[in-house]
C-alpha cells in the first residue's frame, strides 16, 4: 500500500471534524471548483473556518505615487479610517533640461547637459551632428552642447519624443559631413513610407505619428516614441524645426533627435524638456512634483514606504538616496525596488546583461550604507524569457519579487467582462511563459528553477495594479473588480499590493478625484481593508450565474466566469468571521450563506458598496457609496439578497468554534491520504468518510504545472511522520522533506537536474532498521529509474535500478510486503509510452519472480499500481489500473503465477482511465476516474463486485484527472 501522503503547510491546520470514521478517502481534482447552476438557481456561499489559509498582510491596501503627486490640503484625511498602509514613492530625477547622451544596452551616459528648459508652443531650429568622434548640438544656429565618444561609428538618424503629449516637426534635413544634402523632407505627401519606428517591439504602443498641415505630428505622452530615417551614415547631421506643444506642465516631456541609432537601447540622443523635471531616455522613476511633500504625506499616513531606486543614475547616487532617507532623515525605509519594469521599453529599458550588472552594483552600494534594507526583483511573467534570464544571477540576491499584473497590458479598449475577469486571470489562468495557471504560481515556479528553497516563501509585492480602461476604471464596474483583486491577493498570500496611483487627479489612474472624492476603486480598497484582516479561511461559491469572457493578451477566454465571488477571514482570536462578496451580475442574487463548524450570533453587520447602476461613478457627485446596517437573523445557515452590481461585506460574531485544535477528541485520525492534481491544473482535494460524505474540501498549494506527489512516514526515526513532496511533470526532480509542522528539513535533487518528467514517491520498510525508507521513480518522459533513499542522518542512496530498461516510459512505484517477512518489496508499473508491465523487486533492485503484462500488450497509456491486504490474509495483494483509455482494473495475488482475484471495467466503456488505492481498513479498492472523466469515485471488492460507494465529491460537470489514496 502506498503510504498516506499529506501536504506539510496544511498539516497543522486541517482538522477532522467527525468522530468514529474508519477510513478516509481523499480525491484530487485537476480543475478549480466552480459549480454550475444546473441543479438550483440560488447562489450558495460556504465559509469554513476549519480550513484556514494564510495570514493576510496589512500591506495589501496601499498605493503608489506618480510624477504629478501633490499633497492637497486634506489629502491624508480623505482616506478615512483605512488609509493606505504602504506607499510606493519615486525620488526625483534631476539630470538637466537639455542633454546629449549615449544609450548603451539601455544604460545611459550623459555626455553633456545644461539646465535651460524649452518654452511650450515655441518653434526651435534643432541640429544634432556626428562627425568622427565629435557630437554636437545646436539650437537656433547656436552650438549649446558637444562631446567626444567612439562607441558607435555609424547608424541612422531620427526624431523622438518622451512623455510629451504633442509635438510637431518640419523641414527635416540630413546632411553628410562634406556638405552634400542627403535628404530633405517637408511632409507635403504624408509620412514617408521608408521611415520606421526604429525596431520598437510590436506590442509597444508608441502613440501616433501623422501629418497635419505639412508637418509631422506626434500625439500621446508615451514613455518613448520615435521615427528613424532609412540610411545608416558614419558622419552626418540632422536638422529640423521642432515645436513642443504639451497640453499641461506634467506633459511637457522631451523632444529630441537621434544619431548613429542602432536600436531603441543603443545610440546617441539629444533630448530637451520643459520646466518640470521629467524622466529621460524613457526611464523611471519619474520626475516628482513635490518630493518633500511626498515624504511628509507618507509620514502623515503612518505608512510603510517602498522606494524605487533610479537605475538611470549611478550606484553612488542610489547609496546617497539610502543615506539621505535612513541616516540623515532617520525614516527607516526597509524596502527598495531597483528600477521599475526594466523589461519593457519605455521605463528602465535595460538589456538583461546590463540589468544584471547594474542590479549587483546598486545592491552592493546600497547595502554598504544600510545592511538592513531589502531589495526587490521585478518579474514579468509574460511571453518573454526575461525572468528565466535574470533569475539565475539575481534570485539569491533579492529579498522579494515584484509583479505588475496588467493582464491585458493596461490597454484601454477592453470590454466590461475582460475588466471583471482580470483578477481571476491573474489568480487562476494566465497566458504566459511558464504555464497556464495564475501569475503567482508561475512566478514561484520560475523562481524555483533557480532557487527552489525560496520558491514558495519569497514575498510577493504587487507594486502596481489598475486597469487601462478609462471608461470602466472610473465606474462601479472597477469597484467590483478591485474588490476581487483584494480578495485574490488575500487568498494567495501576497505581501503587499499597491494601487497605481493613490493620487488625486482627473483620470481613473487616481483613487481620488481632484476635489478628494473617493472613486469606486478607493471605496473598494477601504471595504476590503476593513473586511480582510487576520487569517484567510476557505470560502467557496456554488451555483453562481456566469458570463462569457473573450481572450485578450494574457487574459484567456473564460466561457463561464462566475459573477459572484467570495473571500473570508477570521481575526486573531477567532471571535469574528468576515466575508467579502462581490456580485458583478446586473441582477440581485438570492444567496444561501453557510458557516459550518461555527456558532454565529444572530446579529451581524453588513456594509454594501453600491451605486444606482454598474456605470455609476463619483466624478461630480457621490453616486457610489458604502452603507452599513446592523441586521438580525444571522446564523450558521441563512439567506441574504445580494444587490445587483455591488460588493457586500459581512461581519459575524462567533460565539463558539467547533474545531479540532479546540477539542482534540474531535480529531481521532492522525494522518490520511491526500491526492494531487493532474498536469496543468491547481491541486484540489476532498476528504471523505467511509460512506463518501465530504468532510473537508481543500485547495492545495501548487508546485509546478504538472502537480505534485507526496508521501509521509517516519524517515528519520524521531517518532514523527515527515512529509515528502516531489514535483509532477514539468518540475525539477527535487525532493523536499518537511517536519510534521511543515518546516523544511531536507531538500535535494534526485536524478539528473534537467529531468522534467515528474516523480512518483512512497515510503516503506526497505530493511529492518526502525525508520522508513523513501522510494522515488521517474514518472514519465524518461527511463523507469527507481531509487531508494535512506534519510536517517546524511541522505544516501540505498539502491537504484532501471525497472524497464531502455523504454522511455517512466514508472509508477509503491511499497508492499508481499511475502509477510516484515520487509517491503517494490512494485512498479510502466508509465505512459510503455507496455502494461508490472514488476516486483527486492529493495536491492533484484527482480522477484513476479513480472506480468497486466492488460492488452498493445496498451501504452501508463499504469497506476498499489499494494495492500485487500482480502485480510496478511499478505499484500497487487492492484493495477489503466490510467488512460477504458478504466480496466485488476487485482492479483503477488505470487509468480499472479492468479487474478478480479478484473473489470470500473466505468463501463467510457475512455476515462482510472487511479486506484487499496483501503485496507475496509478491505476494498477505491477507483477514481481520470483523464476526461467526471470526478466519480467508486469502491469495489477484490473480485470486482461493487462495494456500494459511488459519489461525485465535486460537481459532475467538471472534467479532469484525479488521484485516490486511502489509509
Read off the pLDDT of residues 542-575 as tens digits, 9 standing for 90 and up: 999 999 999 998 999 999 999 999 999 999 889 9
- Tell which residue, 418, 341, 333, 334, has the closest CA to residue 387: 341
CB 593: neighbour CB atoms within 10 A?
A: 26
pLDDT tens for each residue of 493-531? 999 999 999 999 888 899 999 999 999 999 999 999 999
Q: What is residue 655's predicted lDDT score, i.e. its pLDDT?
A: 87
Q: What is residue 3's predicted lDDT score, i.e. its pLDDT?
A: 33
| 51 phi, psi to nearest 5 deg | -125, 80
CB 902: neighbour CB atoms within 10 A?
A: 18
Distance separating the N- and C-terminal Cα atoms of the chain? 9
Enumerate residues 6+ apart whose C-beta is below 8 A from 106: 265, 342, 348, 349, 350, 351, 354, 355
In CATH, what is the architecture of 98-272?
Answer: Sandwich (2.60)
Q: What is residue 961's predicted lDDT score, i.e. its pLDDT?
A: 65
364-367: which pairs have CB atoms within 8 A and are 24 or more residues apart? Answer: 364/315, 365/315, 365/316, 365/318, 365/319, 366/309, 366/315, 366/318, 366/319, 366/321, 366/322, 366/336
| Cα(154)–Cα(233) distance, integer angstroms | 5
| Cα(902)–Cα(888) distance, integer angstroms | 11
Enumerate residues 6+ apart whose C-beta is below 8 A from 904: 888, 889, 940, 944
Instruction: List the beta bridge partners of residue 212.
Output: 215
Does the pLDDT of residue 879 top 90, yes or no? Answer: yes
Q: What is residue 230's predicted lDDT score, i.e. its pLDDT?
A: 73
Q: For 198-207, 268-277, 586-595, which range has the lowest pLDDT when averaged over its residues?
A: 198-207
Does the pLDDT of residue 2 top 50, yes or no? Answer: no
Enumerate residues 6+ apart whose C-beta is below 8 A from 325: 307, 331, 333
| Cα(294)–Cα(325) distance, integer angstroms | 13
| Cα(271)–Cα(281) distance, integer angstroms | 8
CB 270: neighbour CB atoms within 10 A?
A: 29
Q: What is residue 670's predicted lDDT score, i.e. its pLDDT?
A: 29
- Tell which residue, 534, 528, 529, 526, has the closest CA to residue 570: 534
| 87 phi, psi to nearest 5 deg | -130, 130
| Cα(93)–Cα(273) distance, integer angstroms | 13
Every domain of the chain and the residues it spans: 8-30+677-966, 55-90+285-654, 98-272
Q: What is residue 677's predicted lDDT score, i.e. its pLDDT?
A: 39
Cis bond upstream, residue 501 (ω within 30): yes
Q: What is the CATH number of domain 8-30+677-966?
A: 2.130.10.10
pLDDT tens for each residue of 851-864? 999 999 889 999 99
Q: What is residue 622's predicted lDDT score, i.e. its pLDDT?
A: 96
Q: What is residue 812's predicted lDDT score, i.e. its pLDDT?
A: 93
Checking DSSP bridges between strand 252-263 and strand 156-164, what pairing results, if any?
antiparallel
**818 neighbors 875 (Cβ within 8 angstroms):** yes
- Tell which residue, 779, 795, 797, 772, has the closest CA to residue 787: 797
Most confident listed range (339-348, 514-523, 888-897): 514-523
pLDDT tens for each residue of 263-304? 888 899 999 999 877 664 434 434 566 888 999 999 999 999
Cell 515528474 belongs to 758
Does the pLDDT of residue 947 top 80, yes or no? Answer: yes
Checking DSSP bridges between strand 637-642 and strand 625-631, what pairing results, if any?
unpaired
| Cα(75)–Cα(300) distance, integer angstroms | 10
Cell 525614516 belongs to 331
Q: Which CATH superfamily is domain 55-90+285-654 in?
A: Glycosidases (3.20.20.80)
- Residue that wins the pLDDT comparison between 963 and 636: 636
| 443 phi, psi to nearest 5 deg | -60, -45
| Angle, in degrees to the nearest 10, between helices 476-491 and 520-531 | 30
Instruction: List the beta bridge partners of residue 402.
Output: 378, 461
Q: For 178-182, 518-522, 755-759, 883-887, which range has the lowest pLDDT when averaged over its residues?
A: 178-182
Mean pLDDT of 725-740: 80
Percent of the chain with pLDDT over 90: 52
Does the pLDDT of residue 91 top 90, yes or no? Answer: no
| Cα(837)–Cα(859) distance, integer angstroms | 10
**49 neighbors 598 (Cβ within 8 angstroms):** yes
pLDDT band at 408 (very low <50, low <70, confident <90, very high): confident
Maximum Cα–Cα distance across the chain: 103
- For 822, counting Cβ atoms within 10 Å of its Cβ (0-12 exposed, 13-18 middle, 19+ buried), the class is exposed
Q: What is residue 787's predicted lDDT score, i.e. its pLDDT?
A: 96
Q: What is residue 888's predicted lDDT score, i.e. its pLDDT?
A: 94
| Cα(271)–Cα(144) distance, integer angstroms | 12
| DSSP string across 330-364 | -----EEEESS-TTSTTTT---HHHHHHHHHHHHH
The gap from C-alpha 350 to its chain's centroid, in whole angstroms, comes to: 23
Residue 104, helix vs strand vs coil:
strand
Q: What is residue 194's predicted lDDT score, i.e. its pLDDT?
A: 79
**136 neighbors 121 (Cβ within 8 angstroms):** no
Q: What is the mean pLDDT of the chain?
A: 84
Most confident listed range (373-387, 677-691, 699-713): 373-387
Give the C-alpha distances (Å, rounded to integers) separating 698 from 180, 593, 705.
76, 19, 18
Q: What is residue 256's predicted lDDT score, i.e. its pLDDT?
A: 94
Enumerate residues 6+ apart whose C-beta is below 8 A from 718: none
Q: What is residue 19's predicted lDDT score, i.e. its pLDDT?
A: 25
Q: Cα torsion for 71, 72, 73, 75, to the nearest 10°? A: -70
Mean pLDDT of 236-257: 90
Helices (H), 469-592: 470-473, 476-491, 520-531
The gap from C-alpha 91 to its chain's centroid, in whole angstroms, comes to: 28
Q: For 109-123, 289-303, 867-881, which range has the lowest pLDDT when averaged over its residues?
A: 867-881
Enumerate residues 6+ apart whose C-beta is below 8 A from 875: 817, 818, 819, 820, 869, 893, 894
- As given in the structure block, the three cell numbers for residue 458 are 519569497
Q: What is residue 283's predicted lDDT score, i.e. its pLDDT?
A: 40
**535 neighbors 52 (Cβ within 8 angstroms):** yes
Cell 512512497 belongs to 762
Q: What is residue 11's predicted lDDT score, i.e. its pLDDT?
A: 32
pLDDT band at 959 (very low <50, low <70, confident <90, very high): low
Residue 133, helix vs strand vs coil:
coil
CB 627: neighbour CB atoms within 10 A?
A: 9
Q: CATH topology of 55-90+285-654 equal to that of 98-272?
A: no
Amino acid at each position: 500500500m502506498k503510504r498516506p501522503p499529506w501536504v506539510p503547510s496544511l498539516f497543522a491546520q486541517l482538522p477532522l471534524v467527525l468522530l468514529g470514521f474508519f477510513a478516509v478517502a481523499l480525491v484530487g481534482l485537476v480543475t478549480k471548483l466552480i459549480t454550475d447552476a444546473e441543479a438550483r438557481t440560488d447562489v450558495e456561499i460556504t465559509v469554513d473556518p476549519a480550513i484556514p489559509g494564510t495570514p493576510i498582510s496589512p500591506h495589501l491596501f496601499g498605493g503608489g505615487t506618480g510624477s504629478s503627486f501633490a499633497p492637497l490640503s486634506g489629502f491624508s484625511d480623505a482616506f478615512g479610517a483605512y488609509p493606505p498602509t504602504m506607499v510606493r514613492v519615486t525620488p526625483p530625477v534631476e539630470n538637466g533640461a537639455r542633454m546629449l547622451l549615449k544609450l548603451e544596452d539601455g544604460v545611459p551616459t550623459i555626455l553633456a547637459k545644461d539646465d535651460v528648459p524649452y518654452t511650450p508652443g515655441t518653434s526651435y531650429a534643432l541640429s544634432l551632428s556626428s562627425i568622427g568622434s565629435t557630437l554636437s548640438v545646436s539650437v537656433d544656429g547656436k552650438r549649446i552642447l558637444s562631446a567626444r565618444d567612439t562607441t558607435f561609428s555609424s547608424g541612422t538618424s531620427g526624431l523622438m519624443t518622451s512623455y510629451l503629449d504633442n509635438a510637431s516637426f518640419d523641414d527635416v534635413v540630413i546632411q553628410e559631413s562634406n556638405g552634400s544634402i542627403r535628404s530633405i523632407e517637408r511632409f507635403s505627401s504624408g509620412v514617408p513610407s521608408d521611415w520606421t519606428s526604429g525596431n520598437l517591439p510590436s506590442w509597444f504602443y508608441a502613440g501616433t505619428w501623422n501629418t497635419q498641415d505639412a508637418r509631422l505630428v506626434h500625439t500621446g505622452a508615451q514613455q518613448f516614441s520615435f521615427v528613424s530615417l532609412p540610411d545608416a551614415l558614419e558622419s552626418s547631421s540632422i536638422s529640423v524645426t521642432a515645436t513642443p506643444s504639451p497640453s499641461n506642465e506634467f506633459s511637457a516631456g522631451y523632444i529630441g533627435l537621434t544619431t548613429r541609432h542602432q536600436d531603441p537601447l543603443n545610440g546617441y540622443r539629444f533630448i530637451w524638456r520643459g520646466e518640470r523635471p521629467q524622466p529621460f531616455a524613457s526611464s523611471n522613476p519619474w520626475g516628482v512634483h513635490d518630493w518633500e511633500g511626498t515624504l511628509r504625506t507618507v509620514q502623515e499616513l503612518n505608512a510603510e514606504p517602498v522606494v524605487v531606486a533610479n537605475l538611470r543614475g549611478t550606484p553612488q547616487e542610489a547609496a546617497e538616496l539610502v543615506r539621505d532617507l535612513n541616516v540623515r532623515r532617520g525614516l527607516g525605509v526597509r524596502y527598495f525596488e531597483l528600477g521599475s519594469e526594466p523589461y519593457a521599453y519605455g521605463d528602465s529599458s535595460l538589456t538583461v546583461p546590463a540589468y544584471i550588472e547594474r542590479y549587483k552594483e546598486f545592491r552592493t552600494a546600497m547595502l554598504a550604507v544600510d545592511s538592513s534594507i531589502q531589495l526587490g526583483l521585478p518579474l514579468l511573467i509574460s511571453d518573454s524569457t526575461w525572468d528565466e534570464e535574470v533569475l539565475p544571477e539575481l534570485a539569491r540576491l533579492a529579498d522579494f519579487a515584484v509583479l505588475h499584473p496588467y493582464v491585458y497590458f493596461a490597454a484601454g479598449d477592453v470590454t466590461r467582462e475582460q475588466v471583471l475577469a482580470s483578477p481571476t486571470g491573474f489568480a487562476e489562468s494566465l497566458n504566459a511563459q511558464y504555464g497556464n495557471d495564475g501569475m503567482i504560481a508561475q512566478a514561484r515556479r520560475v523562481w524555483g528553477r533557480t532557487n527552489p528553497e525560496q520558491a514558495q516563501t519569497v514575498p510577493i509585492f504587487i507594486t502596481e495594479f489598475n486597469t487601462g480602461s478609462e471608461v470602466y476604471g472610473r465606474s462601479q464596474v472597477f469597484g467590483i473588480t478591485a474588490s476581487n483583486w483584494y480578495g485574490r491577493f488575500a487568498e494567495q498570500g501576497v505581501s503587499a499590493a499597491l494601487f497605481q496611483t493613490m493620487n488625486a487627479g482627473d483620470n481613473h489612474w487616481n483613487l481620488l478625484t481632484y476635489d478628494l472624492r473617493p472613486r469606486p476603486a478607493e471605496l473598494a480598497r477601504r471595504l476590503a481593508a476593513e473586511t480582510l484582516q487576520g487569517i484567510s479561511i476557505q470560502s467557496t461559491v456554488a451555483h453562481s450565474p456566469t458570463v462569457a469572457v473573450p481572450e485578450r493578451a494574457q487574459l484567456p477566454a473564460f466561457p463561464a466566469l462566475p459573477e459572484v465571488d467570495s473571500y473570508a477571514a477570521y481575526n486573531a482570536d477567532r471571535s469574528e468571521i468576515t466575508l467579502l462578496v462581490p456580485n458583478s451580475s446586473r441582477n440581485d442574487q438570492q444567496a444561501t450563506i453557510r458557516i459550518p463548524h461555527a456558532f454565529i450570533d444572530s446579529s451581524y453587520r453588513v456594509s454594501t458598496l453600491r451605486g444606482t447602476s454598474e456605470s455609476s461613478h463619483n466624478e461630480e457627485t457621490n453616486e457610489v457609496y458604502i452603507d452599513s446596517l446592523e441586521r438580525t437573523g444571522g446564523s450558521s445557515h441563512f439567506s441574504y439578497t445580494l444587490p445587483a452590481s455591488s460588493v457586500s461585506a459581512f461581519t459575524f460574531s462567533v460565539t463558539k468554534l467547533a474545531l479540532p485544535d479546540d477539542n482534540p477528541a474531535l480529531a481521532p485520525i492522525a494522518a490520511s491520504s491526500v491526492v494531487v492534481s493532474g498536469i496543468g491544473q491547481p491541486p484540489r482535494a476532498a476528504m471523505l468518510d467511509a460512506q463518501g460524505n465530504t468532510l473537508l474540501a481543500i485547495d492545495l498549494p501548487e508546485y509546478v504545472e504538472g502537480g505534485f506527489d507526496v508521501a509521509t512516514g517516519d524517515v528519520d526515526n524521531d517518532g514523527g511522520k515527515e512529509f515528502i513532496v516531489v514535483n509532477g511533470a514539468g518540475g525539477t526532480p527535487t525532493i523536499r522533506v518537511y517536519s510534521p509542522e511543515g518546516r523544511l528539513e531536507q531538500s535535494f535533487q534526485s536524478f539528473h537536474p534537467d529531468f522534467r518528467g515528474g516523480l512518483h514517491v512512497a515510503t516503506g520498510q526497505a530493511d529492518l532498521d526502525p525508520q522508513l525508507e523513501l522510494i522515488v521513480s521517474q514518472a514519465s518522459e524518461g527511463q523507469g529509474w527507481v531509487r531508494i533513499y535512506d534519510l536517517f542522518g546524511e541522505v544516501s542512496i540505498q539502491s537504484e535500478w532501471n525497472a524497464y530498461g531502455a523504454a522511455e516510459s517512466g514508472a509508477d512505484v509503491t511499497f508492499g510486503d508481499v511475502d509477510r517477512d516484515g520487509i517491503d518489496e517494490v512494485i512498479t508499473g510502466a508509465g505512459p509510452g510503455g507496455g502494461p508491465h508490472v514488476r516486483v523487486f527486492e529493495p536491492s533492485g533484484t527482480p522477484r519472480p513476479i513480472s506480468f503484462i497486466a492488460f492488452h500488450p498493445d496498451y501504452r497509456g501508463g499504469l497506476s499500481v498499489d499494494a495492500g491486504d485487500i482480502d485480510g490474509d496478511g499478505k499484500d495483494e497487487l492492484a493495477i489500473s489503466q490510467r488512460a483509455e477504458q478504466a480496466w482494473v485488476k487485482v492479483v495475488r503477488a505470487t509468480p503465477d499472479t492468479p487474478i482475484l478480479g478484473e473489470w471495467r470500473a466505468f463501463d466503456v467510457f475512455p476515462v482511465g482510472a487511479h486506484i488505492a487499496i483501503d485496507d481498513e475496509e478491505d476494498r479498492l477505491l477507483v477514481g476516474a481520470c483523464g476526461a472523466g467526471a470526478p466519480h469515485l467508486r469502491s469495489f471488492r477484490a473480485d470486482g463486485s461493487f462495494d456500494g460507494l459511488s459519489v461525485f465529491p465535486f460537481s459532475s460537470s467538471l472534467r479532469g484527472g484525479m488521484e485516490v489514496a486511502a489509509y
